[in-house]
């Protein structure tokens, strides 16, 4: 809103009507160049000598990556590639594998549970999704599985300074990002992957061509306009977003610090090269734990107080956890804090301010 003119977009009715750009690709080279500049400016990813592929949000990019790596991972064995993620994991990974029901994949659940089995069977092909920072708990996760038949997809959707310290540019073989967590434009449906291996990149591009003939040109144009405005204003959007998230976490932390019944995830401070200081994380979600034995159904406990979250079992975790979203409006946050304060004040032995 503060930069409504520089971020605005007006498109003529005859603009960009064909499938491809002038270079016969489905990817805007101007937008790709801006993405590389953005990562270099913020320090979130190494993009030199890497390939970039676009998708309809990170959702489509993650699917394309899994297909590309399952083919890259294939051997003479006809058994499907196992797909795993560490608990608590982003539920989309499981949903996509099970919904598409491809003979290429089989979802196996927790990466830690699979690790010993994978190491004992050298012929097992496995893809590990690593969400870093993690959804739902905000931790900077690292891969659990290693070896010649283990491939990793790093979901870096939340790897921006408003959610986490940036200790170093991410430098994995395949990293996925999304506009929705950078600028908030979730409805534009734009994501991208930074890929080291050319063969994997080409397979991802083929997947996009067959699946949707690339990403909408209108979406690419809007993403270009937004990223251009961001880079022209320097650190402003990150400063604004970080202060907004930091304030939300301070209010939430103060409220639940008075509780003996509920607790929040603990994330150690780290040095952030973007802000040149040690700082706390300010993740998109609160991973709330109901500490009492009788509160194992944490979702129901909060719902009874008119607080709606996401059940822990959705993320492969126990039901004494609930995810609360903090990427909502200020009015929503005010209501959440008011209802949590009321809930905490009704506890036996709660700490008074």
- Structure confidence by residue, pLDDT tens digits, 323-332: 999 999 999 9
- pTM of this structure: 0.94
Residue 294 · residue 325 · CB < 8 Å:
no
70 and 184 belong to one structural domain: yes
Strand-by-strand arrangement of the 174-178 sheet: 51-55, 191-195, 174-178, 150-155, 126-131, 81-85, 105-110
CA 9 – CA 31 distance, rounded (Å)? 15
Structurally, how many domains does the chain consist of? Answer: 2
**Residue 133 to residues 160, 211, 229, 277, 281: CA-CA distances in angstroms?**
9, 28, 25, 19, 10
Q: How many other C-beta atoms can be found within 10 angstroms of the C-beta atom of residue 178?
A: 24
CA 310-313-314 angle, 5° bins: 55
227 and 258 belong to one structural domain: no
CA 26-31-139 angle, 5° bins: 105
User: How is 241-291 classified by DSSP, letter by letter?
Assistant: HHHHHHHHHHHHHHHHTT-SSEE------EEETTTTEEE----SEEEEEE-
Q: Is residue 10 part of a domain?
A: no
88 and 169 belong to one structural domain: yes
The boundaries of the domain holding residue 280 are: 235-352
Single out the residue in 202, 233, 264 at which a domain terminates.
233
Tens-digit pLDDT string for the chain (353 aa): 888 898 998 888 888 788 899 898 889 999 999 999 999 999 999 999 999 999 999 999 999 999 999 876 655 456 889 999 999 999 999 999 999 888 888 999 899 988 877 554 667 889 999 999 999 999 999 999 998 889 999 999 999 999 999 999 999 999 999 999 999 999 999 999 999 999 999 999 999 999 999 999 999 999 999 999 999 999 999 999 999 999 999 999 999 999 999 999 999 999 999 999 999 999 999 999 999 999 989 999 999 999 999 999 999 999 999 999 999 999 999 999 999 999 999 987 666 65
Single out the residue in 189, 204, 233 at which a domain terminates.
233
CA 317 – CA 87 distance, rounded (Å)? 6
227 and 246 belong to one structural domain: no
184 and 329 belong to one structural domain: no
């Amino acid at each position: 809103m503060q930069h409504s003119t520089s971020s605005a977009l007006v498109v003529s009715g005859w603009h960009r009507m064909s499938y491809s750009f002038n270079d016969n690709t489905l990817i805007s080279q101007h937008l790709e160049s801006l993405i590389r500049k953005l990562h270099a400016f913020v320090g979130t990813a190494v993009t030199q000598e890497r390939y970039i592929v676009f998708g309809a949000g990170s959702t489509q990019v993650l699917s394309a990556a899994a297909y590309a790596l399952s083919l890259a991972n294939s051997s003479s064995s006809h058994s499907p590639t196992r797909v795993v993620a560490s608990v608590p994991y982003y539920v989309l990974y499981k949903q996509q594998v099970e919904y598409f029901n491809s003979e290429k994949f089989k979802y196996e659940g927790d990466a830690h549970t699979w690790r010993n089995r994978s190491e004992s069977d050298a012929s097992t092909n496995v893809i590990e999704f690593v969400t870093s920072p993690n959804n739902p708990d905000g931790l900077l996760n690292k891969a659990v599985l290693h070896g010649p038949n283990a491939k990793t997809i790093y979901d870096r959707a939340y790897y921006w300074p408003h959610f986490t310290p940036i200790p170093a540019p991410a430098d994995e073989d395949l990293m996925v990002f999304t506009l929705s967590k950078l600028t908030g434009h979730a409805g534009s449906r734009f994501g991208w992957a930074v890929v080291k291996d050319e063969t994997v990149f080409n397979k991802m591009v083929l997947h996009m061509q067959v699946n949707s003939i690339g990403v909408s040109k209108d979406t690419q144009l809007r993403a270009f306009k937004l990223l251009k405005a961001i880079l022209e204003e320097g650190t402003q959007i990150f400063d604004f977003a970080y202060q907004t998230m930091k304030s939300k976490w301070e209010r939430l932390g103060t409220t639940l610090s008075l509780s003996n019944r509920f607790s929040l995830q603990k994330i150690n401070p780290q040095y952030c090269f973007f802000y040149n200081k040690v700082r706390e994380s300010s993740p998109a979600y609160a991973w709330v734990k109901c500490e009492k034995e009788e509160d194992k159904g944490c979702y129901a406990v909060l719902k009874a107080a008119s607080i709606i979250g996401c059940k822990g079992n959705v993320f492969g975790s126990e039901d004494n956890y609930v995810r609360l979203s903090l990427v909502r409006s200020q009015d929503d946050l005010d209501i959440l804090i008011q209802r949590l304060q009321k809930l905490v004040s009704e506890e036996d032995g709660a700490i008074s301010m």
